[in-house]
Structure 1
Amino acid sequence: MKETAFQEAEEFGFHTADIVQEWMWDDDVSEAIRRNIQRLTGEDLVDEDFDSSVDGVIVWWRDGDDEETLGNTLVDAYSVLGDDGPMWILTPKPGRKGAASSSTIQAAANSVGMNAAMPLTADDDWNAIRLSSFGKGR
């Protein structure tokens, strides 16, 4: 059976040797998504404490997390994202514990000057939403 692009992590827009920073990790995240990103880049994911520029960002966010925290996290993550690399919010799919509405994510993104794309399926339990700065057209 052929795997989809997200199962291979290529859809995220990350490349070999990219440093991808992971925010708001918890024990409920998809280890398959993490493993596929690491396999694609050949690098371990770095956490929020990484203090250098990164090539991409993933943020694990669930309903019930503070929306203001999401906005602050997006500002912090964007500040270390080099050359307009990909930034994604991963959230549980509708019907799963922690599922967040796309309007909540859009509101948080807008509050920090970003747009959120339509959710895409990242795996069986998680959706991925790509963020971009207003006017960047990524």
Structure 2
Amino acid sequence: MTTAEQAFADRLGITAGQTVREIGWDEDSDDRLRAAVEEWTGTALTDKDSEDVSDAVLLWWREEDGDLCDALMDARACLSGDGFIWLLTPKTGRGGHVDPADIAESATSAGLDRRPPVNLTPDWSGTRLDLPRAP
């Protein structure tokens, strides 16, 4: 694994052996990020049709993809109890950019805790969404 791939995996909080599901892949998705996750976990990404419980979900999302809250609810349903979702959206100024207010509203409606967005690649930002922790 290259240093750049290691940095992707570390930044995403994904560890070796985790099962990561990918939803919303399209030709504009960043293959370096995908490859880094597969290399680091040691397993291929599973797709939206997998029946396995996932430790993490990579959700590639663009403004025109539909109802974000519904997509987050679907992604949440396949997570393990301590799993998390990385909502990957095009950066500001790129086609398909998603307004941060829409992300915040959809995450809250889906019952997910939102962390601040991070720049992951030249074209994509990521927002980690966590299941709420028990008090």
Normalised TM-score (structure 2): 0.89
CA deviation string 1:7-66 (max 9, x = no partner): 432111111111100111111100011011111111111100000111111100011222
Deviation at 1:74, TM superposition (A): 1.3
Q: Verify the 8 A CA contact 2:22 2:59 in the aligned structure 1.
A: yes
Equivalent pairs, count: 133
CA RMSD of aligned residues (A): 2.0
Between Structure 1 and Structure 2, which shows a larger proportion of strand residues? Answer: 2
Which residue number corresponds to residue 33 of structure 2?
33
Describe how 1:54-93 pairs up with structure 2 within 5 A: 54-66=54-66, 68=67, 70-93=68-91
Q: Tell me, which stretches of 5 or more residues in structure 2 are unaligned? A: none
Deviation at 1:5, TM superposition (A): 7.8
Normalised TM-score (structure 1): 0.87
Q: Verify the 8 A CA contact 2:84 2:131 in the aligned structure 1.
A: no
Distance 1:133 1:54 in 2: 13
Q: Tell me, which stretches of 5 or more residues in structure 1 are unaligned? A: none
Query: Are 1:121 and 2:119 matched, yes or no?
Result: yes
CA deviation string 1:92-125 (max 9, x = no partner): 1111111111111111111111132221011111
- Paired AA for residue 96 in structure 1: R
Q: Verify the 8 A CA contact 2:5 2:33 in the aligned structure 1.
A: no
